[in-house]
A and B are shown apart, each in its own frame.
Chain A
Amino acid sequence: MKTLAFAGVLTSSLLVATALTPVGAADMTHERALNVYKEPHNWLLHHGNYEGWRFSQLKQLNTGNVKNLKVAFTVALGGYESGGRYKHGNLQATPIVEDGMMYVTDGWGSVYAIDVTNPKKASIKWKFDPATDRAWAGDVACCGVNNRGVALWKDKIISISLDGRLFSLNKATGEMVWERKVADPAFAETLTLAPLVIRDLGIVGVAGGEYGVRGWIDGTDLNTGKQVWRTYTIPGPGEPGHETWKDGKERYKHGGGSVWETATYDPETDTFYQGIGNAGPDWDPEYRPGDNKWAASVLALDPKDGKIKWGFQYTPNDPYDYDEISEHQIINAKVNGEDRKLVVHAARNGFYYALDRINGSFILGKQYVDQLNWTPGLDPKTGLPLNYNPNTDVQEYAPGSHSSRARPKSDRLCPSHYGGKNWEPGAYNPELNLLYIPSIEGCNTVETVEQKDFEDQGGPVKWRERFVGGAGRPTERLYGSIKALDPTTGETKVRLKLEYPNYSGALATAGNLVFLGHYDGTFAAYDAKTLEELWSFNTGTGINAPAVTYAVNGKQYVAVLVGSRQPQNIWAHAPELKHTATASMLYVFEQQ
């Protein structure tokens, strides 16, 4: 009987290539990271692969049988404690799965190693609690208590905490090997993104764009826990782009450009592509005349020294808070009959962009959101907004779409300042050549309050105080959508309107499925070709995290973190969500 069972496992070897017990997990090497397709049963990298596809080759679950998906098991986690400005932590992490072990984080940075080899006995094997100073960190987190997950490196887990520390943990036990204080909450610096590991380098970036930080990206030698390089996203004197800060008052020092979602990486040219956040202060662009590079941009960087190879700015002198930190997929494809190496991005400003990833030149751009009113379109040559004026220091995009000191309240802004697409990652199915964009649809208004200077520049604003020059104001109910685009044309092939803005992100699989979680707790599977909903499950609390899929013992599972209560600005216009309770759960589904 045992022999038969063992043989059964062997016959499932198409799904399961390596050892099935956590004990057998191999070291995570650069070689493995480059070849994740050889281990389809695992989910080894934050975005599934370095290219940012969030695509699994597993197809045991497919459009024909997904209707049979049932809960396999759940695991209760922690991390919903209050801290600083926040009543509770959130779950936004992408699980990492390696040979029957899953690694997830809660908002306060605790790491949970969960043995998922046997669904009936799934349990937390170890937990690492970084003992975050919650008030200290939570008071300078702009938008919730968030942590987007861990990375694997050798026999270690690399993780972060909101109060700015980077950790190397023993993968087998959870014991801390070293910690490095990378970001400092004394200067409103926090960490929320999952580290990107390239070879022996751990790359993170600073959050704090609403608190007057000058953004940076930072590389740590994971062998020693020491800094290798730091690159500021807002260039200083003598650096290219510094000339786009025309205030003459060194306002680049508080210029924003934060970094809070994991970059993508092209091993062929050894380049990583990092999306960069909004300029600071968000809604008083008169405070920072000039284009404000590299806020609201993408940077191509060399992981060896952190040097910037090129940058492309989406919204110069951004008056909206359209930061562009979300992922930039790497795709090789024919565009107009020509082979192109693309880096693509569904931007918070409502446009889809395809750039040449070798030199950063603009190839094409197209509106993907339902409503967009801040510019009539993009210049087909430069990709700049059509109403961008190179001869002015403070841009005037479509009248009424933004506020100013003279006119402190905007009219409707579409997409709303939340985007478009916020941090929630999209997914790409290479077999169908479709890019899935989970979106926030609708409009709101923004307001300007003249920003006062920081103390170090002669003003009253102290470190750790908000530095936003106004506010965004939700004025109408937003909704959501999932759109399937042809990334070589930007054409939306299929669209599905969703009841709620999507803040969870997408998973695509070779079973021609797309998975999405929703505000109201619905976790659903869609047909990748038609976006028809094929299956859903009500988890009973909000979902703000992307799903992953993996296999153990020849069986495919789908996993997602569940339990986020939405903030007041969301349920103010969706009052049915008001009483959603915070929870902190891992849900795992299987076919039955």
Chain B
Amino acid sequence: MMRSRLAFGAVLLAALLPGVPAHAQTSLSPEEARLIEYGKEVYKNKGNCQFCHKWDASGDTGYGGIALSLRKTFLTREQFAEVIKCGRPLTGMPYHDQFAYTDKRCYDMTRADLGKDMPPIGETLQPREIDAVVKYLFAKAVGRGASTYEECVDFWGKDTRQCDPMKK
């Protein structure tokens, strides 16, 4: 129980820390580029992440709950993957490993340990999908400032007016 509290505390603490420096863009291998693109699709559609966190991962309020900015996160890649997999107890961030809390894989805690503090259930994502979302967010969002028109077009494509308001 002690260990689980510590692990959970680390996640909470990390989420509250101020921003990390922007990630420099390095040239990507075709496989890395493909995984990032795949992660974008999962973020956009299957995982439904953008409903709460917005398309640019800058966070939001409203019917998705109060969702943090992922652009400003201080989580490491490993912590990020853990939060996607396990959700965040006491908050609206859902877990996406459908077997989370059936055993002690998440923060060393079970559903019984958490009781009403259980995070909500989210769309089921497989480890390779979670890995791709993390890759995508670290490549395109984490540590970046306000989103740009180019990022918008990259996310939504050119067949929609969606990014027009961001045109300079």
CB A76 to nearest CB in B, in angstroms, measures: 22
Q: B65 contacts A471, CB within 8 Å?
A: yes
User: Bound complex: CA of A468 vs CA of B65, how far in Å?
Assistant: 10
Interface segment out of the listed B30-38, B77-85, B159-167: B159-167
Contact with A along B77-109 (1 / 0, CB 8 A): 000000000000000101000000000000000
* Residue numbers in B under 8 Å from A500 (CB-CB): none
Q: B120 contacts A142, CB within 8 Å?
A: no
Q: A134 contacts B160, CB within 8 Å?
A: yes
What is the number of contacts between chain A and chain B, taking CB atoms within 8 Å? 79
Q: B162 contacts A135, CB within 8 Å?
A: yes
Q: Is A133 an interface residue (CB 8 A)?
A: yes
Q: A133 contacts B45, CB within 8 Å?
A: no
Interface segment out of the listed B3-11, B48-56, B125-133: B48-56
* Residue numbers in B under 8 Å from A210 (CB-CB): 62-63
CB B107 to nearest CB in A, in angstroms, measures: 19
Q: A572 contacts B94, CB within 8 Å?
A: yes
**Contact (A575, B121) CB under 8 Å given A82-B45, A85-B50, A87-B45:** yes
Q: A449 contacts B66, CB within 8 Å?
A: yes
* Residue numbers in B under 8 Å from A333 (CB-CB): none
Q: Is A306 an interface residue (CB 8 A)?
A: no
Q: Is B122 an interface residue (CB 8 A)?
A: yes
Which residues 175-211 in A have Cβ within 8 Å of B in the complex?
185-186, 210
Q: Is A463 an interface residue (CB 8 A)?
A: yes
Question: Of all chain B residues, which has the CB nearest A210?
Answer: B62
Q: A473 contacts B92, CB within 8 Å?
A: yes
Please pick, from B46, B116, B120, the residue contacting A474 in the complex, using a CB distance under 8 A: B120
Q: B64 contacts A572, CB within 8 Å?
A: no
* Residue numbers in B under 8 Å from A282 (CB-CB): 62
CB B63 to nearest CB in A, in angstroms, measures: 6
* Residue numbers in B under 8 Å from A135 (CB-CB): 156-157, 160, 162
User: Bound complex: CA of A464 vs CA of B56, how far in Å?
Assistant: 14
Q: A139 contacts B162, CB within 8 Å?
A: yes
Q: Is A86 an interface residue (CB 8 A)?
A: yes
User: Bound complex: CA of A374 vs CA of B97, how far in Å?
Assistant: 37
Please pick, from A139, A470, A572, the residue contacting B66 in the complex, using a CB distance under 8 A: A470
* Residue numbers in A under 8 Å from B122 (CB-CB): 568, 572
* Residue numbers in A under 8 Å from B124 (CB-CB): 578
Which residues 20-41 in B have Cβ within 8 Å of A in the complex?
none
CB A473 to nearest CB in B, in angstroms, measures: 6
Q: A471 contacts B161, CB within 8 Å?
A: no
User: Bound complex: CA of A85 vs CA of B155, how far in Å?
Assistant: 12
Q: A85 contacts B162, CB within 8 Å?
A: no
Q: Is A563 an interface residue (CB 8 A)?
A: no
Q: B61 contacts A568, CB within 8 Å?
A: no
CB B13 to nearest CB in A, in angstroms, measures: 20
User: Bound complex: CA of A563 vs CA of B141, how far in Å?
Assistant: 35
Q: Is A13 an interface residue (CB 8 A)?
A: no
Question: Of all chain A residues, which has the CB nearest B166?
Answer: A462
CB A239 to nearest CB in B, in angstroms, measures: 29
Q: B165 contacts A569, CB within 8 Å?
A: no
* Residue numbers in B under 8 Å from A535 (CB-CB): none
CB B141 to nearest CB in A, in angstroms, measures: 16
Q: Is B60 an interface residue (CB 8 A)?
A: yes
Q: A568 contacts B120, CB within 8 Å?
A: yes
Which residues 143-167 in B have Cβ within 8 Å of A in the complex?
156-157, 160-162, 164-165
Which residues 428-485 in A have Cβ within 8 Å of B in the complex?
447, 449, 462-464, 466, 468-475
Question: Of all chain A residues, which has the CB nearest B164?
Answer: A186
* Residue numbers in B under 8 Å from A143 (CB-CB): 63
* Residue numbers in A under 8 Å from B121 (CB-CB): 568, 571-572, 575, 578
Q: Is A229 an interface residue (CB 8 A)?
A: no
Please pick, from B51, B55, B157, B160, the residue contacting A86 in the complex, using a CB distance under 8 A: B51
CB B30 to nearest CB in A, in angstroms, measures: 26
Q: Is B123 an interface residue (CB 8 A)?
A: yes
Q: Is A126 an interface residue (CB 8 A)?
A: no
* Residue numbers in B under 8 Å from A573 (CB-CB): 120
Question: Of all chain A residues, which has the CB nearest B60?
Answer: A466
* Residue numbers in A under 8 Å from B66 (CB-CB): 447, 449, 470-471
* Residue numbers in B under 8 Å from A470 (CB-CB): 61, 66
Please pick, from A87, A139, A464, A472, the residue contacting B63 in the complex, using a CB distance under 8 A: A472
Given A87-B45, A462-B165, A569-B63, 20 new contacts (CB under 8 A): A82-B44, A133-B160, A135-B156, A139-B55, A139-B162, A142-B62, A142-B63, A186-B161, A186-B165, A463-B165, A464-B165, A468-B63, A470-B61, A471-B62, A471-B65, A473-B65, A568-B94, A568-B123, A573-B120, A575-B121
Q: Can you list 9 pairs linking A and B with CB atoms under 8 Å apart?
A: A139-B55, A139-B162, A143-B63, A186-B161, A210-B62, A472-B63, A568-B121, A568-B122, A572-B94
List of 9 A-B pairs having minimum Cβ-Cβ separation, nearest first: A572-B120, A135-B160, A468-B62, A466-B62, A135-B162, A136-B161, A85-B51, A471-B65, A471-B66
Q: A: which residues have CB within 8 A of B?
A: 82, 84-87, 133-136, 139, 142-143, 185-186, 210, 282, 447, 449, 462-464, 466, 468-475, 568-569, 571-573, 575, 578
